């Protein structure tokens, strides 16, 4: 059998990690694949920097004495698999991925933003040409959640997917919880330690986690969800009081991705939640990722590990390459679209609702009365935190919908327009 020849587009942090594993572990990988796996080309704008950084041989960056180009790779009939690690969702990257597949080559990528926001025709092109599209590395780095759903649970029905899918936000929230830092302090620490970019927007506003959840929803339920359709709340407004309120009910605040199947509808959201300490997700700290699957027949499963990093993400890419070497053009599992997206505001949760109000007599009574008028039972009322003329306190509700919580808040505003000093913080409670 001819070798499986690989080309890499982009030799940065992830692409360089892939090249290192493919060259250092060539014999082992080939034995596992029962077929020789050979790195042939790397297309990189600054090859000398990549050679120095990753200790790679110059031959991978040259074709007939000239720098390797993307066109050269696409035209080479000996190339079987192209690894895209350029990143981004630009027209250039999108069109390059389509060209890879149109030229009859399998595609492996870690590009979650591209697949989540512009991936429909890429998935379609791969299916049309009966080619593999490997994207294990696009969701939670080293955690094998894609293969888990594709290959391990095809005899089951996934009733819900939940998890911590962004290491930066988890690192920030962990520091706030364990070190009693405010958000700005924890973010600065994350940046100083390399866990957050100079512009951390996509991590803290829930965008990065949303990309991953969209891909899991497509895989588990065959449902195409856009970023605009997904209900997303970031962690930017979480403060010390919120952490204390969560601690009072034996919970920790985590940015949670959730997709839940009920009555042929998939309810999905990305938002901070108060995760009860009995739930394993509450103990997943710092930059670690975790995914929980609740299945109809096989019950609950957890996958926990590093969600980013050069070698961690590269390993997932290489595992896709080995899979392609073994199975070639065998079509992989893809759930038939048979569900619709439900309104996330209809998901039933207990809620932790925190209020900042004027320090006036009767405030707690009015708020609890308005909540009760919506048919919501109250489990506990947290301790008031007074600061001059303001007061902060929280209420833990029984199970209800977000719609009813919001209706209660509107009733409070109607009864006493001057009372609330800011919008109440609404955290679903995850058991």
Three-state DSSP state, 130: coil
User: What does the DSSP assignment read for 67-95?
Assistant: E--HHHHHH-TT--EEEE-S-S--HHHHH
Let me know: does 241 contact 258? Beta carbons within 8 Å. Answer: no
Neighbours of 143 (CB within 10 A): 24
Phi, psi angle pair for 107, to nearest 5°: -120, 135
Q: Which two tokens stand for residue 102?
A: 């149109």
Let me know: does 303 contact 144? Beta carbons within 8 Å. Answer: yes
Q: What is the chain's percent helix, strand, coil content, to nearest 5? A: 40, 25, 35
Q: Which two tokens stand for residue 176?
A: 């706030």
Three-state DSSP state, 233: coil
Neighbours of 128 (CB within 10 A): 11
Neighbours of 179 (CB within 10 A): 10
Q: Is 77 a catalytic residue?
A: no
Strand partners, 232: 270
Q: Which two tokens stand for residue 341?
A: 């997206």
Report CA-CA distances (Å) from 190 to 157, 231, 286, 287, 364.
Answer: 38, 26, 10, 9, 37
Of 105, 150, 212, 254, the catalytic one is 212
Strand partners, 292: 162, 302
Give dist(CA 240, CA 246) in Å, integer. 10
Give dist(CA 214, CA 316) in Å, integer. 19
Eight-class DSSP state of 272:
E
Show which residues are catalytic.
212
């Amino acid at each position: 059998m001819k070798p499986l020849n690989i080309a890499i587009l982009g030799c940065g942090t992830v692409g360089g990690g892939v090249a290192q594993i493919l060259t250092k572990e060539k014999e082992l990988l080939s034995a596992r694949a029962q077929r020789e796996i050979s790195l042939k080309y790397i297309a990189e704008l600054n090859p000398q920097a990549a050679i120095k950084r990753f200790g790679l041989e110059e031959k991978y960056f040259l074709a007939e004495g000239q720098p390797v180009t993307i066109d050269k790779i696409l035209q080479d009939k000996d190339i079987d698999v192209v690894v895209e690690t350029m990143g981004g969702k630009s027209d250039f990257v999108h069109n390059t991925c389509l060209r890879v597949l149109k030229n009859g080559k399998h595609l492996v990528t870690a590009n979650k933003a591209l697949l989540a926001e512009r991936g429909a025709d890429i998935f379609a092109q791969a299916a049309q040409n009966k080619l593999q599209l490997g994207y294990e590395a696009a969701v939670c780095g080293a955690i094998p959640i894609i293969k888990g759903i594709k290959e391990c649970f095809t005899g089951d029905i996934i009733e819900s997917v939940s998890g911590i899918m962004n290491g930066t936000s988890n690192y920030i929230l962990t520091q706030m919880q364990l070190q009693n830092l405010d958000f700005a302090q924890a973010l600065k620490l994350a940046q100083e330690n390399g866990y957050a970019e100079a512009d951390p927007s996509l991590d803290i506003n829930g965008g990065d986690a949303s990309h991953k959840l969209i891909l899991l929803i497509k895989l588990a339920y065959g449902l195409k969800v856009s970023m605009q359709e997904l209900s997303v709340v970031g962690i930017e407004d979480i403060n010390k009081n919120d952490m204390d309120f969560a601690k009072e009910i034996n919970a920790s605040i985590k940015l949670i991705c959730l997709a839940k199947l009920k009555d042929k509808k998939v309810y999905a959201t990305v938002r901070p939640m108060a995760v009860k300490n009995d739930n394993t997700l509450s103990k997943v700290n710092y930059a670690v990722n975790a995914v929980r699957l609740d299945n109809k027949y096989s019950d609950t499963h957890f996958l926990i590990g590093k969600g980013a990093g050069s070698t961690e993400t590269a390993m997932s890419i290489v595992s896709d390459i080995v899979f392609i070497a073994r199975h070639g053009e065998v079509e992989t599992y893809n759930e038939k679209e048979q569900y619709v997206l439900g309104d996330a505001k209809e998901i039933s949760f207990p809620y932790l609702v925190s209020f900042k109000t004027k320090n006036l007599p009767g405030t707690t009574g009015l708020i609890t009365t308005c909540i009760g008028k919506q048919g919501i039972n109250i489990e506990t009322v947290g301790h008031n935190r007074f600061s001059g003329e303001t007061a902060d306190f929280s209420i833990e509700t029984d199970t209800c919908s977000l719609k009813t919580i919001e209706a209660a808040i509107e009733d409070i505003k109607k009864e006493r327009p001057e009372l609330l000093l800011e919008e109440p913080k609404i955290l679903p409670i995850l058991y």
